[in-house]
Amino acid sequence: MKLQGSIVALATPFTREGTLDEKAYRSLIRWHLKAGTSGLVPCGSTGEAATLTHEESCRLVSICVEESRGRLPVIAGVGTNDTAKAVKLSKEAEALGSDAILLLAPYYNKPTQEGIYQHFKAAAEAVSLPIVVYNIPGRTAVNILPATIARLAADFKNIAAVKEASGSLDQVSEIVSLVKRPFSVLSGDDSLTLPMMAVGASGVISVIANIAPRQTADMCAAVSHGDWSKAKALHLKMFPLVKALFIETNPIPVKAALEMMGKCRCEPRLPLTPITPASREALKKRMRAFGLL
């Protein structure tokens, strides 16, 4: 399975009472099935995985699999800082029908590079699904070095990709240079997707695709077709909106944007709080300029 293009990191809609809003979630997925999106990621950072119950996580993955019906790959987020639990969650995602898993680097523990390698080794040996290694040191407090990525890719055929959110183009270039077999590098920063694709990334696991799926998909497609002029124009058009989506902690702004578009309520779970009035106005201004409102 080639992981490429615009893969959406799905936001998780909640009701006013704080339960899963399954109707809104299904509607979002159906929208993406028609909008050129290349893959679905339930239960990632944007999906507020850290505050989902185990039952909710399983339910969200099941809904994605059911709605997609094989038309788009479902890449289930299974992030945790406990290797044994990560293995268990990976097996469950496979049993639920996921096409791949997105496995976070262990957070809080701050393992060495050897500990990181052993963490992903345990998951790779436990499942046959393709594994996307998720490197986001700003949230985990550890950086998966390119040499570790290359070692994992060399040792395990189902280590298929990395979602690279270190913010370093040097690191992306190193990964592309070091990995000696077919392997997908996916941007984890919407503002860096185009630069990363310029040095060899194949797409993005995207926040902005939640509200602008067609444009994000079109930018990735333009690169794959060699139309760099179109890709640059789309990148520059999206850039101010991308920055607005991180005016507060993700996914607070993107859920506010989805609410403004009538897609779901802006109901993040504590410790995340609803967007402030000032940030809402700044975001609304960018959305109007982009043509979403």
d(CA 26, CA 29): 5
Write out the catalytic residue numbers. 134, 163
Residue 83, CA atoms < 13 Å, CB-side half-sphere? 15
List domains and CATH numbers for the chain. Answer: 5-227 (3.20.20.70)
Residue 79: the pLDDT is 83
Residue 2: the pLDDT is 83
Residue 219: the pLDDT is 98
- What does the DSSP 8-state code read for residue 275? P
Q: From residue 186, how far is each of 32, 132, 161, 172, 275 by CA, in Å? A: 19, 9, 7, 9, 28
Instruction: State pTM to two decimals.
Output: 0.96
- Averaged in consecutive runs of 10 residues, what is the pLDDT profile of the chain (293 residues)? 93 96 98 96 96 97 96 94 95 97 95 98 97 96 97 98 97 97 97 97 98 98 97 98 98 98 96 97 98 95
Short-list 139, 61, 63, 136, CA closest to 100: 61
Backbone angles phi, psi at 20, to 5 degrees: -60, 135
Residue 205: the pLDDT is 98
* Six-digit token string for 179: 């990995």
Residue 92: the pLDDT is 97
